[in-house]
Chains A and B, each alone.
Chain A
Amino acid sequence: MIDPINPPGRKNPLLRTRLPASPPRPRSRTSHGFTRAAAEGRFVLQRCEACGVFAYPAREACPSCLSPDLVFVDAPRRGTLLAETTARVPSDVYFRERAPWRIGLVKMDCGPTIVTHLHADCVEGAAVRMSFQLDKSGQAVAFARPEGETPNMADDRQWREMTADPKFRRALVTNGRSVVGQEAVAALKAAGAKTVFVGVSEPWRPFAGEELLRGQQGIEVVTLDAADEKSAVDLAADIGGKVDILVNTTEYVRPGGLLDRRGTSIARDEVDQAYLGFINLAQAFGPAMRMRGADGINNSVAWVNVLSVYALANWPAFGAYSASQAACLSLSHCLRAELRPGGIKLMNLFTGPVDTEWFQTVPPPKVAPRAIAQAIVSGLRGGLEEIYVGDVAEEIRQRLAANPKALERELDR
């Protein structure tokens, strides 16, 4: 059993901030099958199509029958911890700073043995539940947790290195005028965030739900118009060093594609709000976040984008909007790479049409803003990189994997 972590005290401004280090990063190309799974919180192993044997580590041929048909498939997560050790003098800076560090060897019920990070409550000889997590270098690593829930389970020191749990951290939700933004604030607060800053543009202008934000313990309304570079820079000068999690809830949805619009004014607004707003936020807050990736219990850990699933496949009815989201998605991969040296996770949340006024004419199913907010928190707690919310997003994901051309034709109706 582990002790709960304590809320961090005030930071001593005279002390040097510990800089982030990355755990070992090189991997074989095939091994990124695990990275792909870890990004979505799946547990996969290679299984031989010819003889059915599960294999680990990543291989190019089956160790049982030499077939090249090894496929990453969802695999049973249960195993038994055979032996453990505690590395006390690692040769690498990241682990040396975090030593002692506990690892073990797990025999999976489905066959292979896996060298793995251990949750403190794992016991030799007992069953464990395996997952692949993204570590501070962004690469997949195996992680063993006890089979059942244990007290303060998420407070485990090694587990917290793999996740972006809001507990005791400070978050900035960039758009408090939207219902999604307001729900995100509530969900982060409920998840134990110490402070949630919430950006509101032109704060003198009243908006629905304002009472949920103002005057609440642990919620600070701040002035932010992401599309305005100066606004983003001013806010970062004020709170940039205190943002551990940034949730980009910028929302600018307008229907229409190309031929039934005149000119570029609406498209320009879409780009200003979503794409250039993203750039403004990244340039204002990204550098400080990257710098603070190892700054104690409330270190900077994650950047979240709420994106439309139509970033992945254009929906002509909202064609120009889809394109603005695709631009943000592409840019997010750039930001992910640039935040990586700080160990900061970048999580993209893909949603179908949300149950808000701008999707008024779209038939159900639509995603409740609260579901998005809950997915943000569960994604942060699980340390994910990709998360699909709602039936539409999940369906698009599957259809895209199956046949992108079919999806393209079928979105055109």
Chain B
Amino acid sequence: MNNSQRTPYDGVVMAAPVTIPYVRYSVESAQWWIGRALSALVAQAGIKAADIDGLCVSSFTMGTDSGIGLTQHFGLCVRWLDTIPLGGASAIAALRKAARAVQAHDADIVACVAGDTNHVDSFRLTLENFSRFNQDAVYPYGAGGANSSFALIARNYMRTYGITREDVGRIAIAQRANALRNPNALMKAPLTLEQYLAARPISDPIHLFDCVMPCAGAEAFLVMREETAASLGLPAARLLSTIERHNAFADDPMQVRGGWAMDVGELYAMAGVKPDDLDVVQTYDDYPVITMMQFEDLGFCKKGEGAEFVREHDLTIEGDFPHNTSGGQLSVGQAGAAGAYLGLVEGLRQVLGTAGPTQVKNASLGLASGFGMINYDRGLASGAVIFAGPSR
């Protein structure tokens, strides 16, 4: 059975992109970080907390809380509520659900927020308790966590398409160059290809600079209808198109493509744009090799041509293919579920022209993607969104 076409997201906008600067370790709770993000959202949008009538939350470290506990914790009375545990695909999924909610007037202003703390043992506990398949059939095998799981995927993908570490490294190096302009990035030192190649192995072929640094932080944005934003005088980005897919290509013995590849045609068709038209691209970079896979699956090049694409393009802010302009998770840090939001929130700043030191000149059309949940042998959740700033 063929899927039917999605109804367009006409009239849906995003506003008030918020980042609470990350720290490596935090003694605060996830609720503290989420609270700060909500507070910043209200302040930036110039609204009252009571104006928020929809809430969507993602976090790995909230303990026994879900969205409902947070309504009372933060004194929010909402008529639409969701908690999205999709890891790196959480931001796209949150946006998609919130978009339909405001379109249908189930809510007027939805706060989408993700935040995680990072205590010294948070990351290990998250690894240990990630999922049932992970507990039963992955973690007892060397306890390498996502590094080992992605190492297997990376090794197979790189061998299949003749990709070298240099090819993959270009992505990480370009992002570090971008991060040096972002005062909130945790990585402050330049990174050369030599340093990248000489890094210590973590789980071959994954080396140190292929890995993100777990940290604490929060990200958020508001979703509303165009007229709501106009009445509030809020600069906003229009939602042109978005896709989401889970457990795609289950028959592939190993993952060489993500769910984007199933729906990418509709992604661009609904937005009425081509990959070439995009001014700025924010992929989900838990590992640079996964970013390379996204370049292929999101239509910037064919499968197997990711390495060539990276060699032929300058991925920095001033380059011909500005990518992960904040520095991405690889250089800013991975604040748990907030890592899913990092690209989208930075993308929104770009098309709104408020990215400051990382601003791409005249950026008006952006794409952000998400990827998450390596439940067993592959990342299951994927999504992407195309959005446009007021100047387009």
Contact = CB atoms under 8 A, between A and B. Distances in A.
B4 to A, nearest CB: 23
B203 A86 contact: yes
B127 A26 contact: no
A57 B143 CA distance: 17
Nearest to B145: A91
Contacts of B73: none
Contacts of A103: 141-142, 144, 148, 152
A65 interface: no
A296 to B, nearest CB: 21
B204 A85 contact: yes
Contacts of A89: 144, 147, 202-203
B155 A115 contact: no
Contacts of A96: 143
A92 B152 CA distance: 19
B122 to A, nearest CB: 11
A116 B155 CA distance: 16
B53 interface: no
B142 A87 contact: yes
A113 interface: yes
Interface in A85-101: 85-92, 94-96, 99, 101
A113 B155 CA distance: 16
A24 B152 contact: no
B128 interface: yes
B254 A83 contact: yes
A82 B253 contact: yes
B363 interface: no
A90 B253 contact: no
B144 A139 contact: no
Interface string A27-58: 11001000000000000000000000000111
B253 A85 contact: no
By CB atoms of chain A within 10 A, which of B124, B133, B136, B250 has the most? B136
B253 to A, nearest CB: 5
A327 interface: no
Interface string B305-340: 000000000000000000000000000000000000
Given A28-B132, A83-B156, A84-B152, A95 B254 contact: no
Contacts of B254: 82-83, 105, 113
Contacts of B390: none
A141 B137 CA distance: 8
B142 A90 contact: yes
B201 interface: yes
A108 B100 CA distance: 43
Nearest to B144: A87
Nearest to B205: A85
A45 to B, nearest CB: 12
Contact of A116 (B128, B139, B141, B201): B141
Contact of A85 (B128, B135, B144): B144
Nearest to B128: A24
A85 B140 contact: no
Interface string B187-228: 000000000000011111110000000000000000000000
A225 interface: no
Contacts of A117: 141-142
Nearest to A98: B142
Contacts of B145: 90-91
Interface in B95-146: 123-124, 127-128, 132-133, 135-145
B16 interface: no
A316 interface: no
B152 A83 contact: yes
Contact of B377 (A24, A90, A113, A139): A113
Interface in A102-151: 102-105, 107, 113-117, 135, 137, 139, 141-142
Nearest to A27: B136
Contacts of B249: none
Contacts of B148: 85, 87, 103
Contact of B136 (A58, A94, A102, A107): A58
Interface in B291-307: none
Nearest to A105: B152
Contact of A141 (B127, B133, B135, B141): B141
A113 B140 contact: no
A255 interface: no
B225 to A, nearest CB: 40
A240 interface: no
Given A82-B156, A85-B204, A91 B137 contact: no
Give the most central of A82, A83, A141: most B CB within 10 Å.
A83
B375 to A, nearest CB: 10
Nearest to A34: B136
A91 B135 contact: no
B152 A104 contact: yes
B151 interface: yes
A192 interface: no
Contacts of B202: 88-89
A23 interface: yes
A89 B230 CA distance: 52
Residue in A84, A85, A91, A102 whose Cβ sees the most chain B Cβ within 10 Å: A85
Nearest to B206: A85
B144 A115 contact: no
Contacts of B124: 91-92
A57 to B, nearest CB: 4
Nearest to A101: B142
A125 to B, nearest CB: 9
B23 to A, nearest CB: 20
Contacts of A63: 250
B80 interface: no
Nearest to B150: A85
A92 B155 contact: no
A139 to B, nearest CB: 7
Contacts of B133: 57
A84 B203 CA distance: 10
A84 B148 CA distance: 9
A25 B151 CA distance: 23
Contacts of A85: 144, 148, 151-152, 155, 203-206
Given A82-B254, A85-B204, A86-B203, A57 B142 contact: no
Given A91-B124, A113-B377, A84 B136 contact: no
From B132, B153, B206, B253, name the one whose CB has the most chain A CB atoms within 10 angstroms. B132
9 contacts: A23-B140, A26-B128, A82-B152, A86-B201, A88-B204, A91-B124, A103-B152, A107-B253, A142-B137
Q: Lowest 8 CB-CB distances: which A-B pairs, in order? A: A87-B144, A92-B143, A85-B151, A57-B137, A87-B142, A90-B143, A101-B142, A31-B136
Given A85-B152, A89-B147, A117-B142, 7 more contacts: A27-B135, A31-B137, A57-B136, A86-B204, A89-B203, A104-B152, A141-B141
Interface of A: 23-28, 31, 56-58, 63, 82-92, 94-96, 99, 101-105, 107, 113-117, 135, 137, 139, 141-142
Interface of B: 123-124, 127-128, 132-133, 135-145, 147-149, 151-153, 155-156, 159, 200-206, 250, 253-254, 376-377
